[in-house]
Amino acid sequence: MDKITELEKENIKIKGENAELKQGIDELKKELEFKKNRKFQEKCILIAQILLNEEPIVEYRPSFMEGLELDAFFQRHRITLEVQGAQHRHHHTSWYKDIKKLEDIVNRDRKNDAYVKIM
């Protein structure tokens, strides 16, 4: 009986360690996806900068947008740039714990779009 109890305790310990490792892997996946999206965003801004021959304001937060942010704003041309990765359109558990977070992002994107149209 002691051996069974000992094995059950060991099994519980291993399950806990596995859960921690899975959580760590999920965090690393999120970080990698963020870095890929960030690199893509930086490339898009650079391309627009070269085409427009203008230095953008990066991570632009005009006061009328109530804290929302645009990836880049080219003031002289009055052009905004917003790069949206797949996490803005698809629910994936490594990005969001629940669908509500995706809905929040989609709603923020819609607000951004509305504000940009009045700029």
Residue 46's pLDDT is what? 93
| Nearest Cα residue to 49 out of 26, 72, 66 | 72
| The residue type at 82 | E
Q: What are the tokens at 83?
A: 């790069």
Expressed as residue numbers, the domain containing 8 is 2-118
- Domain count of the chain? 1
Residue 67's pLDDT is what? 79
10-residue block means of pLDDT along the chain (119 residues)? 84 87 80 75 92 93 81 91 65 58 73 64
